Amino acid sequence: MSIIATPLGWIMSWMYEIIQNYGIVLILFTFLIRLLLFPLNIKQQKGTAKMSLLQPKMDKLQKKYGKDKARYQEELMKLYEEEGYNPMASCWPLLFQMIFLFGIIEVVYRPLRYMLGISTDAISAATNILTEAGEKVSGSNAQLVLVNILQGNETSYSADVIQKLKDCFDPQALDAIMNFNMHCFGLNLGEVPTFAWPIILLPILSGVTSLAVSILSVRQQKRNGMSKEQQKTMNSMNVVMYLMPLMSVWFAFSLPSGVMFYWIASNVFSFLQTFVLYKFYTPERMRAIAEKESQKRKKNPSRYQQAMRDARRAQALKEGRTFDESGVNLDDEDAADEAPKKEPTAAERIAEARKRMAEKYGDEYDD
């Protein structure tokens, strides 16, 4: 994650030079990232709206071809092609969000490297000394623990161990660590939460904000319209929805407070973002937008639609089946009957009229 974390660390470092408070920087940085990712959230919302539009048609296909999996998949891909829906499109925003999330967590866990620019060799040497002293540290929380010890907030270590830690850094790096302000709202973000007041607020707020985001997300997803199968799946996930906030509380007592502080800020902004997204981009409005875009794509097929159509035709030719220009399987009587009929030309209408007259009057009409 260093490829993503390095530029994000530069941004946090620049913010810290101005504000000189790690907690406030975390809040502003989280807000900035959420703002940058907002267009991706809108795109994901559009994808959800499109899926809700397609769901009745998908249910119809399931009832009709459910026993024939191959045929069902073929008809489903045809539906995606006609509607211009790419099932993978909604995955891209989520993928980018996950990449940014891991990059942000990397910066939050390792402020000495990404914000203060201290060498990894010095940090590794200090971490080894902590391990030898019996401290249970890992590559993820070691840097926040180091700050807490060197600033004198942790008094359980001997003067000899603390001196060895200081010797790992050059004077400039040590000065940067000693002056690194990790206190915010009376909380030391470098220490691991305990049941003491007020640090216990962080685990509690972590669980409460996580639960609030989960409840709001589920509520809005139901408003979007869900099939019976989706509702069953959602109901089975209710246990997970309540279990995850409890797990975040449990994890809070084993991680530095700075990580929990970021997690709380992220949950708060996620809640506000979800609320605003569904307030201004209501399911009804998103469905109208999706329907309008679908009509445009039917007139002017996208590259994705054309690629899907070409793939289906190639498969049909391989299997000896035929398709018309609109992509209807002519070997399927049901599909052919449901296909929109082309308007006959003037010559075709005249020929059809003559045929009917000949059938009615026989050879007399031909004469």
Mind listing the pLDDT tens digit for each residue in 312-359?
A: 677 666 766 655 544 445 445 444 444 444 455 666 666 676 766 666
Where a domain ends, among 257, 283, 309?
A: 283
Residues 6+ apart with CB under 8 A from 112: 118, 123, 143, 146, 147, 177
Q: Is residue 292 part of a domain?
A: no
Q: Are 200 and 63 in the same domain? A: yes
Cβ–Cβ < 8 Å for 184, 22: yes
Mind listing the pLDDT tens digit for each residue in 287-311?
A: 677 677 667 766 666 666 666 667 7
Q: Is residue 238 part of a domain?
A: yes
Q: Are 270 and 305 in the same domain? A: no
Q: Is residue 49 part of a domain?
A: yes
Q: Are 323 and 189 in the same domain? A: no
Mean pLDDT, residues 281-288:
69
Q: Are 95 and 244 in the same domain? A: yes
> 245 is in which domain, residue-wise?
2-116+180-283
What pLDDT shows up at residue 34? 84
Q: Are 196 and 335 in the same domain? A: no
CA distances from residue 95 to 8, 43, 91, 200 in whole angstroms, order as listed: 17, 13, 6, 33
What pLDDT shows up at residue 174? 92
Mind listing the pLDDT tens digit for each residue in 134-192?
A: 766 666 678 888 888 888 877 777 888 889 999 999 999 999 999 998 888 888 887 77
Q: Is residue 134 part of a domain?
A: no
Q: Is 135 exposed, middle or buried (0-12, 13-18, 19+ CB in 10 A)?
A: middle
Residues 6+ apart with CB under 8 A from 119: 173
Q: Is residue 230 part of a domain?
A: yes
Where a domain ends, among 251, 283, 315?
A: 283
Percentage of the chain surpassing pLDDT 90?
A: 9
Q: pLDDT confidence of 105, banded at 50, 70, 90?
A: confident
**Could you tell me the pTM of the whole model?**
0.67
Q: Are 323 and 278 in the same domain? A: no
What pLDDT shows up at residue 90? 64
Q: How many domains does one find in the chain?
A: 2
